[in-house]
Amino acid sequence: MKDLQNIVLDLIEATKKHEQYRNKECINMIASEGTKSPAVCQMLDISHDLSTRYAEGDNNTEGHVKKRYYQGQKYSSQIEDHTTDAIKSLFHTTWADIRLISGTHANTATFKGLATASKNNKMIVTPLSCGAHISHDYTGLSGSILCLSNINHVYNINEFNIDTDKTAHVIRATKPGIVTFGGSLFLFPHPIKELKETCNEVGAYIAYDAAHVLGLIAGGQFQDPLREGADFITASTHKTFPGPQGGVIMGIPDTPTKEKAVRKIQHAVFPLTASSTHLGRLPALGIACLEMKLFGQELATQIVKNAQTAGQYLYENDVKVVAEHKGFTKSHQIALDIKTYGGGNKIAQDLEDANIILNKNLLPYDDQNDKENPTGLRVGFQDVTRHGMKEGDIKHLCDLMMDIIKGKRTPEQVKIDVMALKKEFSQVKYGFQSVEEALKYIKS
Ligand SMILES: *Cc1c(COP(=O)(O)O)cnc(C)c1O
């Protein structure tokens, strides 16, 4: 074992190397990773005291601070309230909880709260193999920690979506307390509108997991879950939504049933699952909300356009992109089936060797007992778009990817071009370059 000084020396060096590698030398296409603007980063940098503080306590049904257990909170309580108001304003909700430290935490509190409110622990989820997050699954948070009993949406593999009619039968037959929508491999809007009435019939709450698509929703370029009938949205604040890492729950509790649910969810936040709520991220989250209000529509439109452009271009060049008959995607991601080129493991590694970072992904029709050998890749376009890439740049990037996928050039050769491309797109667009710039904008 090395002594501690040397461990820390290595730690510092690895940290510096990581920042250089992933931020300066690699092109990021992992669909779950967002891009903070310089202003959001700067706000984090000036919130260090805040990130040492505690603020345990209760909130009211507007999401504002009601009671805190410690002294010294006159500004931190304001900061919580202002951040809550910022996100409520952006998403037009009357309630939000921003104390969640991640999307999984948001799901923990929401699933627990809704199961308690409905006195029913049956929850309908998309199958894991069809794009749900592990936190929805019986092998994950939902089953193993919350002990909810999962029932699957019927999924139509050809349509890459939930089968509305068959699922309606399942809902009527099983009478769940919660029906979830949303996912991690998430190409097309889920049928909330179509299933809303059936959920009402059996008294099920609808929870929509917007972790991946929150930024697209903010920009008005994906389904608007609360307007389509979802009772609550849970999300991460750092995927297509370009804030600091964290979580959020939102809703419009305009009925006694929903108000009861809010109280149960809040109880599941504190005291059940949160102590420190990581206050230091809140001011930065507020700035990200303003950026999305101002630039979100333009950003989200370009993200989806870029994803669709890549889908079409790769498809025309003999790479199998799933859901071709549906235009490949309506979100920030596409899914490639690269079985004929060597499978997800090999191609994801070759792309990494060329400094293009993405993840292999099991596709719905893959052998679910062979999770180690997925045929797919999931490709996200939110990061390259925020760095300013447009359709032409995306095609160039796809050419580099295809050099690897088809084995035309070695990863070492392609890496040189990837690093050059990254240099060209090193600035973050659709946001403020500093807190000062945001202030100037607000006051002008
Ligand atoms: C990423 C993700 C989560 C978990 O969010 P974290 O912020 O990583 O905890 C939850 N649900 C879905 C659908 C996700 O993709």
Ligand 1 center–CA 3 separation, angstroms: 37
Q: Which two tokens stand for residue 272?
A: 């059940």
**Res 330 pLDDT > 90:** yes
pLDDT single digits (tens) 3-42: 999 999 999 999 999 999 999 999 999 999 999 999 999 9
107 CA: nearest ligand 1 atom:
10
184 lines ligand 1 (CB under 6 A): yes
SS3 323: coil
Average pLDDT of span 52-71: 97
Q: Is 225's C-beta closer than 6 angstroms to any atom of ligand 1?
A: no
Does residue 284 register a pLDDT over 90?
yes
- Assess whether the C-beta atom of 311 lies below 6 angstroms from ligand 1: no
The one-character DSSP state at 339 is G
- For residue 369, the model assigns a pLDDT of 85
* Cβ 103 under 6 angstroms from ligand 1: yes
Closest to 106 measured CA to CA, from 136, 79, 80? 136
Q: Kindly provide the residue ranges of all beta strands, DSSP E only, lying in 252-332, ordered along the sequence.
A: 320-321
Q: What is the DSSP letter of 153?
A: P
In this predicted model, what pLDDT tens digit does every residue of 184-220 receive, in sequence order? 999 999 999 999 999 999 999 999 999 999 999 999 9
Q: Is pLDDT at 424 greater than 90 in this prediction?
A: yes
Ligand 1 within 6 A of CB of 366: no
| Residues 42/439, Cβ–Cβ less than 8 Å | no
For the cut 90, the answer to whether the pLDDT of residue 287 exceeds it is yes
pLDDT exceeds 90 at position 175: yes
CB of 187 closer than 8 Å to CB of 331: yes
Atom in ligand 1 nearest the alpha carbon of residue 136: 11
- The rounded Å distance from CA 213 to ligand 1 centre is 10
Is the distance from the beta carbon of residue 183 to the nearest atom of ligand 1 less than 6 Å? Answer: yes
Question: In this structure, what are the phi and psi dihedrals at residue 3, rounded to the nearest 5 degrees?
Answer: -75, 165
pLDDT score, position 371:
84
Residue 222 carries which DSSP code?
S
Alpha carbon separation from 440 to 288, 406, 415, 435 (Å, rounded)? 16, 49, 40, 9
Instruction: Return d(Cα 292, Cα 91) in angstroms, integer.
Output: 10
Q: Closest ligand 1 atom to the C-alpha of 212? A: 15
Nearest CA to ligand 1 atom 13: 183
What spacing in Å lies between the alpha carbon of 365 and ligand 1's midpoint?
22
Q: What does pLDDT average to over the chain?
A: 97
Chain position carrying tokens 């809040």: 266
Judge whether residue 372 has pLDDT over 90: no
Residues sharing a CB contact under 8 Å with residue 80, sequence separation 6 or more, in sequence order: 55, 64, 65, 98, 99, 279, 282
What pTM was computed for the model?
Answer: 0.97
How far is Cα 361 from Cα 244, in angstroms, rounded to an integer? 25
Pocket test for ligand 1, best of 212, 222, 240, 273 (most atoms within 8 A of CB): 212
Distance 436 CA to ligand 1 centre (A): 32
Is the Cβ–Cβ distance between 215 and 430 less than 8 Å? no
| Residue 387 to residue 425: CA distance in whole angstroms | 5
- Whether cis (ω within 30° of 0) applies to the bond prior to 271 is yes
Q: How far, in Å, are 113, 236, 256, 259, 289 from residue 263 at the CA level?
A: 8, 21, 11, 6, 25
Tell me, in angstroms, the distance from the centre of ligand 1 to residue 371's CA: 19
CA–centroid distance, 102 to ligand 1, in Å, is 7
pLDDT of residue 348: 98
Cβ–ligand 1 contact at 236 (below 6 Å): yes
Atom from ligand 1 closest to the CA of residue 237: 7
User: From the CB of 281, is ligand 1 less than 6 Å away?
Assistant: no
Instruction: Quickly list H helices, 212-281.
Output: 214-218, 225-228, 256-267
Residue 228 contacts residue 196 (beta carbons within 8 Å): yes
Residue 367 has pLDDT above 90, yes or no: no
Decide: helix, strand or coil at residue 439.
helix
CA-closest residue to ligand 1 atom 5: 103
- b/e code 114-145 from CB counts within 10 Å (16+ = b): bbbbbebbbbbbbbbbbbbbebbbbebbbbee
- The widest CA-to-CA distance across the chain, in whole angstroms, is 64
Question: DSSP 3-state assignment of 435?
Answer: helix
Q: Is 247 in the pocket of ligand 1 (CB under 6 A)?
A: yes
- Measured at the alpha carbon of residue 215, what is the angle toward residues 162 and 330, in degrees to the nearest 5? 40
**Contact 380 CB / ligand 1 (< 6 Å):** no
**Atom of ligand 1 lying closest to residue 102 CA:** 7
pLDDT at 421: 98
Ligand 1 centre to CA of 92 (Å) is 22
Question: Who's near 199: CB < 8 A, 6+ residues apart?
Answer: 171, 179, 205, 206, 229
